[in-house]
Amino acid sequence: MRKINIGLLGLGTVGSGVTSILQKNSFDINTRTGADIKVKRALVQDLAKTRDLSKDILLSDKVSDILDDPEIDIVVEAMGGIEPARTYIITALNNGKNVVTANKDLLAAHGQELFEVAQKNKRDLYYEASVAGGIPIIAALRQSLTANRISSLIGIINGTTNYILSDMTDKGRDYNEVLRESQELGYAEADPTSDIEGLDAARKLAILSTIAFNTRVTIDDVFSEGISKVSKEDIKYADELNCVIKLLAIAKNQEDGIEVRVHPALLPKNHPLATVNGVYNAIYVVGDAVGETMFYGKGAGSLPTGSAVVSDIIQIARNLESKSVGLSDCDSYRNYPIKSSDDFTTGYYIRVKVKDEPRVFASLALFFAEAGISFASIIQKPRSNEKAEIVLVTHPCKESQLKQAVASLNSYSKLDKIYNVIRMETNGF
Ligand code: NAP
Ligand code: HSE
């Protein structure tokens, strides 16, 4: 049986999931691939750390022990961060190794460079674990759905924010209270900025839309807005409108280009994504031949993410066996234009507090009419001190039109406050 040696860069949450799956399921994995796949060595920062690890796996704090070892066939990068991970992957590929990475931060910023190095060296660079942990969405887009023209892809691809919004919805709690508790319980990181500000989801969306639309999309192309302004009152109004609020990662291929955006959005309760709660992830994909599909599962964690990494290792083992490594590039042959945020088309929810007196409603209607925007529904609640709280819901319009209406609102003397403006996902399914 052919021997395939793995060099692991990083032995934390993901790296230890990989070693444990390779050990636990070794019989099936080896039988399915016809190869004896073993982790030979793992790179760590701190050799003195106590680890629950098989004695067969050698540890090192010198990367050359892996990158320069001719017996290592596949390097798995599970360290995270941009550098030194980027340099290590490039060196591994230049040294003739195949690479698996879980690193969305790196791929969303430097994907093109890394794929070019892989192609130049005729080596595989696989990255299933970089998006949505255990959900096999990258394999689905690159293989199973490749007969289709993908028109839209909408994901809940950040577990932390989905947990927070689900808890606010279920228990009517405040954003800050839920965030604090989820940090104490370890669901949110001590510094949750990249999760709650939408950057983590934006990186994942850059990777997915690059594959779905055969167009290079980087993190800088993705519009992103986080969930910190969503209040329990917005969630209650959404419920009255028969919607839930989710942090959505949206990619759409339209006649005038592609839209790539991450933001909180009202989503009708009958949308398949509306029932995806807690730390779970899901990606809803629409293809011209297959129609609607949805992929659901755990978006993070040692074993779910390890499952994605090991499936990439297995695919490379099969490619080595069939002498077809280096054939699976991420081809950006379409190169569609990426739309600016002013051209995004979506519905909007606008919650305002205004003076409760005659003509105020007429003025609000006029601001939106002048911007060419039509209302889909309106809610008014009486408030104290002669003020009224009003929720305006628009039909889909361009973001530039909405900006014009909001500018008029902001200069209106009877306006007390704009509480929030949240996009509404009404089409695309
Ligand atoms: P982690 O638990 O912090 O583990 C990182 C590992 O890398 C540790 O073993 C650490 O060594 C080692 N390391 C870090 N920097 C190093 C350096 N400069 N030199 C040598 N070793 C270094 O991280 P993780 O959660 O497993 O995440 C790894 C990657 O997977 C990241 O790109 C992350 O975005 C991605 N990912 C994670 C998840 C998840 O659920 N955690 C899900 C999907 C994708 P020590 O052990 O000595 O500290
Ligand atoms: N921080 C991510 C999340 C997990 O909350 O979904 C790793 O991708």
pLDDT, position 377: 93
Question: Region 78-107: what's the mean pLDDT?
Answer: 97
Architecture of domain 143-298: 2-Layer Sandwich (3.30)
Q: Are 118 and 124 in contact (CB under 8 A)?
A: yes
Q: Are 383 and 353 in contact (CB under 8 A)?
A: yes
Percent of the chain, pLDDT > 70? 99
What are φ and ψ of residue 96, in 5° steps?
Answer: 90, 10
Question: Ligand 1 centroid vs 81 CA: distance in angstroms?
Answer: 8
What are φ and ψ of residue 126, in 5° steps?
Answer: -110, 155
List, as one string, the DSSP characters of 168-210: HHHH---HHHHHHHHHHTTSS-SS-HHHHTTHHHHHHHHHHHH
CA-to-CA distance for 297 and 262, rounded, in angstroms?
Answer: 20
Q: pLDDT class for 429, splitting at 50, 70, 90? A: very low
DSSP summary character for residue 136 = -
Supply 394's token pair. Answer: 């628009």
Q: Is 34 exposed, middle or buried (0-12, 13-18, 19+ CB in 10 A)?
A: exposed
| pLDDT tens per residue, range 287-312 | 999 999 999 999 999 999 999 999 99
CA-to-CA distance for 74 and 303, rounded, in angstroms?
Answer: 20
pLDDT, position 182: 86
Q: Are 378 and 394 in contact (CB under 8 A)?
A: no
- Same fold: 2-134+302-322 with 341-424: no
Architecture of domain 341-424: 2-Layer Sandwich (3.30)
Protein residues with CB under 6 Å of any ligand 1 atom? 10-15, 43-46, 49, 78-80, 84, 102-104, 129, 133, 300-301, 305
More confident residue, 184 or 316: 316
CA-to-CA distance for 94 and 103, rounded, in angstroms?
Answer: 19
Residue 428: pLDDT over 60? no
pLDDT, position 330: 59
Which of 103, 127, 157, 160 for a ligand 2 pocket mutation test, highest count of atoms within 8 Å of Cβ?
Answer: 160
- H or E segment and range at residue 402: helix 399-410
Distances (CA, A) of 70 to 84, 272, 283: 21, 48, 39
Q: What is the CATH number of domain 2-134+302-322?
A: 3.40.50.720
CA-to-CA distance for 210 and 315, rounded, in angstroms?
Answer: 21
pLDDT, position 40: 97
| pLDDT tens per residue, range 141-168 | 999 999 999 999 999 999 999 999 999 9
Q: Are 22 and 42 in contact (CB under 8 A)?
A: no
Q: Which residues are catalytic?
A: 204
299 lines ligand 2 (CB under 6 A): yes
Q: pLDDT class for 107, splitting at 50, 70, 90? A: very high
Q: pLDDT class for 329, splitting at 50, 70, 90? A: low
| β 243-254/150-156 pair status | antiparallel
pLDDT, position 382: 74
Q: Are 22 and 33 in contact (CB under 8 A)?
A: no
Hey, where are the domains in the chain? 2-134+302-322, 143-298, 341-424
Question: Ligand 1 centroid vs 27 CA: distance in angstroms?
Answer: 27
| Ligand that comes closest to the CA of residue 79 | 1
pLDDT, position 401: 98
Helices marked H in 241-344:
302-321
| pLDDT tens per residue, range 165-188 | 999 999 999 999 999 988 888 777
Cα angle 304-324-207, degrees, rounded to a multiple of 5:
45
Which of 18, 19, 45, 110 for a ligand 1 pocket mutation test, highest count of atoms within 8 Å of Cβ?
Answer: 45
| Ligand that comes closest to the CA of residue 300 | 1
| pLDDT tens per residue, range 370-425 | 999 999 999 998 777 889 999 999 999 999 999 999 999 999 999 999 999 999 99
CA-to-CA distance for 268 and 230, rounded, in angstroms?
Answer: 17
Q: Over the chain, what is the mean pLDDT?
A: 95
Q: Are 211 and 107 in contact (CB under 8 A)?
A: no
pTM metric for this prediction: 0.95
| pLDDT tens per residue, range 32-68 | 999 999 999 999 999 999 998 888 899 999 999 999 9
List, as one string, the DSSP characters of 161-176: HHHHHHHHHHH---HH
Cα angle 263-307-81, degrees, rounded to a multiple of 5:
55
Residue 76: pLDDT over 90? yes
The lowest-confidence range among 132-141, 330-339, 355-364 is 330-339
Question: Region 205-234: what's the mean pLDDT?
Answer: 96
Q: Are 400 and 344 in contact (CB under 8 A)?
A: no
Q: Is 3 exposed, middle or buried (0-12, 13-18, 19+ CB in 10 A)?
A: exposed
Residue 97: pLDDT over 70? yes
pLDDT, position 186: 77
Q: pLDDT class for 265, splitting at 50, 70, 90? A: very high
The lowest-confidence range among 137-151, 184-198, 309-323 is 184-198
pLDDT, position 183: 86
